[in-house]
Amino acid sequence: MARKREKKQNDPKLQNKNGLSRRDFVKTGAVAGLGAAALFESGGTQAQGATTGAEGMVWDYEVDVVIAGGGCAGLTAAIRARDLGATVLVIDQNFDVGGRMLHSGARVSLGGGDPVQHRDMKGESDKEGFVTVDSFEDPEELDDNIDLLFTDITDWSVVDPKAQSPYRYNDRELVRAWAENCPATRQFLIDNYVRFTRISGTHGGGGLSRARAARCFLMLGDKTDMKAGTITAEDAGRVDLERSSAFAPVQMTNASRDVGPNAVSNGVALARPLEFSAREKGVEFMLHRSFDELVREQPFSGRILGITAHYSPRQHPETGELLQSYWRNGNIDERQQTVNIRARQAVILASGGHAGNPEVRSMFYPAFREPAFPTSGVALQGPQGQDAAALRAGLRVGANLAGMQQNLSYGTTFHISTRLGTRDAYTTMMPGHPTFGFRGSAGVNVGNAGFEDFIAVNQVGKRFFSEVRLPRRPGVNSYPGDRGAPGQGLEHTPLDWRNCRKEWVRQMYNYDHGLDAALAMNEGSKPPHYFSGPLWAIFDEDAIERTGWELRYPYVADNGYFFKADTIEELALKIAKGNEFQRMPLKYLADTVSTWNGYVEAGIDPEFEREADAPMNPIATPPFYALSIMIIWHDSYGGLRVNGRQQVVDMQGEVIPGLYAGGEAVGGFNKHGLGKGHVHGYIAGTHAAEESGS
């Protein structure tokens, strides 16, 4: 297990020869890993020109494998490395384990002839007999193999409805290793208490030829028991439509049609079983702890020896109490400001992507430096959840990057959410989970259809696009239904030039640039950043009559993302005063509304031709309302470059010894979410445990 070292009795091999304190190391520049210095209490002192290597480092903990991030890739890697005999410490900046995986829909797209594909081909049940519905897919559509999967995921001929061809950029070595490990990873997940529904299609970049995605489920029962596969209705959030639980931040959905009576599904049925298994097997966790720096023998050469990490307490938004993880066995309660953790064999970076870091985002799309727009799941994850920690630390020890353009070719990377009136607009969450207070409101999910019932305005109160077209997202290339190629499933011919001939692309192209208009500069955009500012849905009482939207707690709250007033002028004032990112008055709002009402009367919108998309309704009956509209940067694709063993590679093409990475922390693979992260974790855990170390 992770061995805590007493400060004064360091490993002789690592002992500082001069007998200096840690602060002295910093001052004399004896710590490698460059920015490591910035962490120490000395307030930003930099170890300038630190070239003396890390032999003087004082380690607080020592373990075989250290994993930064206990989500999808991290938990999988932890269990795998532990199964192979390594001692494993997972550190996570959050108060609970699971990362975005806990928030997710748990559609896990693997394939290559994986055990669930085989099960469904034969129409069999699972070993516990929970799955009682028939298979959805015909046996031929499940008849998969590794070569076909590999071909699918590197198929240059598949073009998406944005006229991009994302599979062509996928790194071949990485994807080959991924495809080869898909069947074993599916079995691994099953062996660690994860249960899968019937397969239905593929998910996010999972290929066009075969059906490969299944969701995870638990069965409603008298107690919550991962071994038995049961969960109480209360823990699942199935008792009260307006209540989440501490166990399940997102209420679980009814999966009876995909499994059998009483089955419920979402990321909880994936993350909690894995967490349970990891703790049962002796993986240790240090929570409230943010990883900052990698410690390398020399700044740009030698092995990775460990990490430094700072205390990042997450406190209850109302009471200020330190938040506690749902399960605590295996937790190390460490509150020291900074700790140095020695990894005898390997460090695995699994801390997710950069979607929550506006500065890093701006290297892909400068307008996204606008901090008004968050990533998905900010309440659960906190502001440090997706802050590019792995990318930043990797670059400081010489790592290369990969797939930096791939953010631009995935349908959910960024888009306008249909959930209004909350900053955390991608995800749903109800009161009952301790982080609900960070968002304050669940939001009102109006669907695409709801966008015809309001006008959308920018920070100065002007319309900027046809509202109806704003939330439309182009599909990603998955089977079936997303029209990535003329043929789907068995009818898809991989690598056929006809898939991307321009006649076909013209026919299926389906992208409106509403998002770009939403991020565009307006009169309120000021140098040097030219922020575009928040977006608002403006409507009147009649809209509520038409739609049935419930504008009450917990859907909306007095949290700066929902306003109500008797006049438009007053509404504009309230928004300007009440929202943290609204930097100016919405000076045109009243004019915009009266102009709009004129368009409605005339039946014509000369600015955006709204009449072509849906009926137009006046905004005239008080009270008037404003709900925030969010642009969400959901997931990350560019990141650290890794090889087929998930080892991080430097700018010379050399492996950085002892350093692995997976999930959204890495680039080079335009595949969404879980299917990617679990396999990465599985591969990284395997090889990390085999390292002879130092």
Partner 1 sequence: MKIVVAVLTLVFMTAPIALAQQEIDQMTSVWEGVFTEAQANRGQAVYDGACGLCHGRRLNGAPDDPDMRSTPPLARAKFLREWEGRSLAVLFEYTRATMPENNPGSLTDEEFVDVIAYMLSVSGMPAADEELQPDPQSLARSVIQQQP
Chain contacts with ligand FAD (rule: CB under 6 A): 68-74, 91-94, 99-101, 103-107, 203-204, 290-291, 350-352, 376-377, 381, 384-385, 389, 426-427, 635, 663-665, 672-675, 677
301 vs 654: CA distance, rounded Å: 10
CB of 599 to partner 1, least distance (A): 19
CB of 226 to partner 1, least distance (A): 22
- Residue 30 CB coordination number (10 Å): 23
324 vs 316: CA distance, rounded Å: 9
CB of 103 to ligand FAD, least distance (A): 4
- Applying CB under 8 A, the span of 30-38, 84-92, 336-344, 465-473 interacting with partner 1 comes to 465-473
Nearer to partner 1, 76 or 266 (CB): 266
CB of 284 to ligand FAD, least distance (A): 14
Residue 91, binding choice from partner 1, ligand FAD, none, Cβ under 5 to 8 Å by partner class: ligand FAD
230 vs 253: CA distance, rounded Å: 14
137 vs 117: CA distance, rounded Å: 9
User: Among 141, 171, 297, 691, which residue interacts with partner 1 (rule: CB under 8 A)?
Assistant: 141
> Does residue number 200 form part of the binding site for partner 1 (CB under 8 A)?
yes
User: Using CA atoms in the order 197, 199, 204, 205, what is the torsion angle rounded to 10 degrees?
Assistant: 140
> Does residue number 469 form part of the binding site for partner 1 (CB under 8 A)?
no
80 vs 344: CA distance, rounded Å: 17
CB of 635 to ligand FAD, least distance (A): 5
CB of 269 to partner 1, least distance (A): 13
* Distance set, CA 362 to CA 61, 103, 356, 376, 535 (Å): 36, 25, 11, 17, 19
CB of 287 to ligand FAD, least distance (A): 9
CB of 119 to partner 1, least distance (A): 16
Residue 385, binding choice from partner 1, ligand FAD, none, Cβ under 5 to 8 Å by partner class: ligand FAD
> Does residue number 447 form part of the binding site for partner 1 (CB under 8 A)?
yes
450: tokens are: 């709801």
Is the peptide bond prior to 161 cis by the omega test (within 30 degrees of 0)? no
CB of 382 to ligand FAD, least distance (A): 7
168-173 long-range contacts (CB < 8 A, ≥24 apart) are: 169/403, 169/405, 169/406, 169/409, 169/668, 169/670, 170/403, 170/668, 170/669, 170/670, 170/671, 171/402, 171/403, 171/641, 171/668, 171/669, 173/643, 173/644
User: Using CA atoms in the order 277, 683, 87, 69, what is the torsion angle rounded to 10 degrees?
Assistant: -70
> Does residue number 428 form part of the binding site for partner 1 (CB under 8 A)?
yes
Nearer to ligand FAD, 515 or 684 (CB): 684
Residue 142, binding choice from ligand FAD, partner 1, none, Cβ under 5 to 8 Å by partner class: none
Residue 133, binding choice from partner 1, ligand FAD, none, Cβ under 5 to 8 Å by partner class: partner 1
Residues 663-682 that bind partner 1 (CB under 8 A): 672-673
Phi, psi of 156 (to 5 degrees): -65, -20
Contacts of 449 (CB under 8 A, 6+ apart): none
> Does residue number 85 form part of the binding site for partner 1 (CB under 8 A)?
no
Residue 74, binding choice from partner 1, ligand FAD, none, Cβ under 5 to 8 Å by partner class: ligand FAD
Contacts of 690 (CB under 8 A, 6+ apart): 84
User: Among 136, 509, 511, 581, which residue interacts with partner 1 (rule: CB under 8 A)?
Assistant: 136
CB of 94 to ligand FAD, least distance (A): 4
> Does residue number 459 form part of the binding site for partner 1 (CB under 8 A)?
no
416 vs 517: CA distance, rounded Å: 11
User: Among 212, 289, 303, 419, which residue interacts with partner 1 (rule: CB under 8 A)?
Assistant: 419
- The three-class DSSP label of residue 217 is strand
Contacts of 379 (CB under 8 A, 6+ apart): 424, 427, 429, 435, 436, 438, 439
Site residues, partner 1 (CB under 8 A): 104-105, 107, 133-134, 136-138, 141, 200-201, 203-204, 211, 241, 253-257, 266, 376, 411-412, 417-419, 426-428, 445-450, 452, 471-473, 475, 480-481, 489, 546-548, 614-615, 672-673
